Amino acid sequence: MPNYQLNIVFDTDDLQTIKAAEEKVTLMKKTNKGKPLAWVAFLPFQNNTVAWEEDYALYASKVTTQSGATIYKLSDVDASPMVTYPFQNYGAFGIPVQDSSVKKGQYKVVNNYQDEAFLTFGLAQGVQVNGTAFPNKPINASIVPREHDATFIPLTEVVIFLDSQITSGMVITEVSSPQTPLVFGGEVTEITVKYDSNSGLFIQQQPQ
């Protein structure tokens, strides 16, 4: 699987302003369905490195996907595409089964849990921020009723912005600050951005 790296640079004066505003760097990952989550939110330094591999997990939660809710995992499993993962009545993912309806790059879950009318499912992906690892951090959240299924397709687009209210794992339905989309994939495995206080955006830098 590809390894990706995002380098985030700040000027010292901007860091002082960001600190005073109690803002954090927030990253979101794009997917085909479900509400987006704050993949990770962290206090920045002058030079920051975010790294991840293009591996995914599936997770289950009882938290509903209302705006501002923080999703926590009750069960998760390292997942492979092109198979279906049944979530069983004992509260964990069962053995994946072959499913011709699941195409390349797709991850499918079937909710067989009987004790709740629905559960929340989504993709999770590990990430490393400034040397600290955060395994299987949820990136999206979708309500799946009992005996229903959902198919998730992760994208390699990352959105970066500053916010003082959002924390890691929070359901995001509205962002008040400027957002910068960054597209990884193919030959693009590393991107460097620098915060621009005039626009509030993160400007992509040319490779050295």
State mean pLDDT over 101-127.
97
Report yes or no: 141 and 123 within 8 Å, Cβ to Cβ: no
Quote the CA–CA distance of 16 and 20 in Å, as a whole number: 6
The alpha carbon dihedral of 38, 39, 45, 47 has a sign of: negative
Q: What is residue 70's three-state secondary structure? A: strand
What's the pLDDT tens digit per position in 115-134? 999 999 999 999 999 999 99
DSSP letters of 126-164?
EEEETTEEEEEEE-EEEEEETT-EEEE-EEEEEEEEEES
The alpha carbon dihedral of 51, 24, 73, 113 has a sign of: negative
| DSSP conformation class of 92 | S
Cβ count within 10 A of residue 138: 30
Residue 60 is predicted with a pLDDT of 98
* Structure confidence at residue 173 as a pLDDT band (50, 70, 90): confident
Residue 6: pLDDT above 70?
yes
Containing domain of residue 123, as a range? 3-204
Listed residue (187, 190, 166, 186) closest to 176, CA to CA: 166
Quote the CA–CA distance of 85 and 70 in Å, as a whole number: 24
Give the number of domains in the chain.
Answer: 1
Residue 208 is predicted with a pLDDT of 64
Report yes or no: 29 and 3 within 8 Å, Cβ to Cβ: no
What's the pLDDT tens digit per position in 43-86? 999 999 999 999 999 999 999 999 999 999 999 999 999 999 99
